[in-house]
């Protein structure tokens, strides 16, 4: 059976607000992540957790527990920054801070990264070169066209990106790119079926059909979930749009179906790193 990669963007529900406001909110990430860890244990799934450095600093025991249970710890930046709005210097500084924070907690080397908001797009491709200095893989490129993010012409499956023009393959590259799962429809384009909002929005049968199609062609996919995607009690935040709250109640059942119907390992294991 084809193995795929399961991932968690480990952040709290307030992490899409400006960093300066985070401390005003009560955390829910520990209990929501415990639920995810229980599901992974039940379905014998090992996953990669892309962790926001600030959250790791607040809850180091949670990170140690995830590591102890055999999952992989990777970076989701320190302060959940949008790379499209950062300078190269700001990004590199934030990245190093996140790596230091995570590596101090687990005493293991971090080798992977996912950009908050999938914010490695055409105008922030420079981030790939910086990532290649520190890491072995990235999972930030979403080969879709949406108003919020996406690189519609990027490859859809794991590849080695050229560090200057990362939508071009370059076998000599020391970095791998793991693009988020999509379903290709001719003429229309790629539909995101990688998790998060798309898991809550699309019927499960459609997601399953798309993911099965990927595996039938002997490709693997990467799926992702946020702890907040499974939290019907997520507090209302006025800055957040409807898509933050859509079908939070229905997500758990669909997520369990995913865990039941497909086989998952960590990114590190899938890439044999």
Which parts of this chain interact with Zn ion (CB under 5 A)? 9, 11, 116
Choose between 55 and 163: whose C-beta lies nearer to Zn ion.
55
Choose between 214 and 225: whose C-beta lies nearer to Zn ion.
225
Q: How far is the CB of 116 from Zn ion (least distance, A)?
A: 4
Choose between 16 and 170: whose C-beta lies nearer to Zn ion.
16
Beta strands in 81-125 (DSSP E): 112-113
Q: How far is the CB of 20 from Zn ion (least distance, A)?
A: 17
Choose between 201 and 204: whose C-beta lies nearer to Zn ion.
201
Q: How far is the CB of 118 from Zn ion (least distance, A)?
A: 9
Q: How far is the CB of 148 from Zn ion (least distance, A)?
A: 12
Q: How far is CA 253 from CA 43, 177, 200, in A?
A: 13, 30, 10
| Nearest CA-CA partner of 196 in 227, 151, 220, 229 | 229
Q: How far is the CB of 115 from Zn ion (least distance, A)?
A: 8
Choose between 9 and 231: whose C-beta lies nearer to Zn ion.
9
Choose between 125 and 149: whose C-beta lies nearer to Zn ion.
149
DSSP state string for the chain: --EEEEEEEE--GGGGS-GGGGGGS---HHHHHHHHHHHHHHTT--EEEEE-HHHHHH-HHHHHHHHHTTPEEEE--SS---GGGS-HHHHHHHHHHHHHHHHHHH-S---EE--GGG---GGGTHHHHHHHHH-SEE-----S--SS---TTS-SS-B-B-SSSTTSB-TT-S-EE-PPPEEEETTTEEEE-SBHHHHHHS-HHHHHHHHHHHHHTT---EEEE-GGGG-TTPPP-TTS-GGGTTTTTTHHHHHHHHHHHSEEE-HHHHTT-
Q: How far is the CB of 16 from Zn ion (least distance, A)?
A: 7
Q: How far is the CB of 77 from Zn ion (least distance, A)?
A: 8
Choose between 9 and 177: whose C-beta lies nearer to Zn ion.
9
């Amino acid at each position: 059976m084809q193995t795929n990669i399961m991932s968690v963007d480990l952040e709290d529900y307030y992490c899409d607000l400006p960093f300066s406001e985070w401390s005003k909110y009560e955390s829910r990430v520990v209990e929501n992540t415990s639920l995810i860890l229980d599901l992974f244990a039940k379905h014998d799934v090992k996953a990669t957790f892309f962790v926001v450095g600030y959250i790791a600093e607040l809850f180091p025991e949670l990170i140690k527990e995830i590591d102890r249970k055999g999952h992989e710890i990777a970076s989701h930046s320190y302060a959940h920054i949008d790379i499209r709005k950062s300078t190269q210097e700001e990004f590199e500084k934030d990245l190093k801070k996140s790596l230091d924070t995570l590596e101090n907690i687990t005493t293991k080397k971090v080798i992977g990264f996912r950009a908050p908001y999938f914010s490695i797009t055409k105008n922030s491709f420079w981030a790939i070169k910086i990532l290649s200095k520190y890491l072995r893989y990235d999972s930030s490129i979403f080969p879709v066209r949406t108003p919020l993010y996406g690189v519609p012409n990027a490859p859809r499956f794991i590849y080695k990106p050229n560090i200057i023009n990362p939508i071009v393959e370059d076998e000599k590259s020391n970095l791998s790119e793991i693009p988020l799962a999509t379903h290709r429809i001719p003429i229309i384009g790629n539909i995101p079926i990688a998790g998060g909002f798309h898991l809550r929005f699309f019927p499960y049968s459609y997601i399953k059909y798309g993911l099965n199609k990927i595996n039938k062609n002997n490709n693997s996919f990467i799926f992702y979930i946020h702890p907040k995607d499974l939290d019907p009690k997520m507090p209302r935040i006025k800055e957040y749009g409807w898509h933050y709250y859509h079908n939070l109640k229905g997500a758990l059942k669909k997520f369990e179906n995913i865990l039941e119907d497909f086989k998952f390992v960590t990114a590190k294991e899938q890439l044999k790193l």
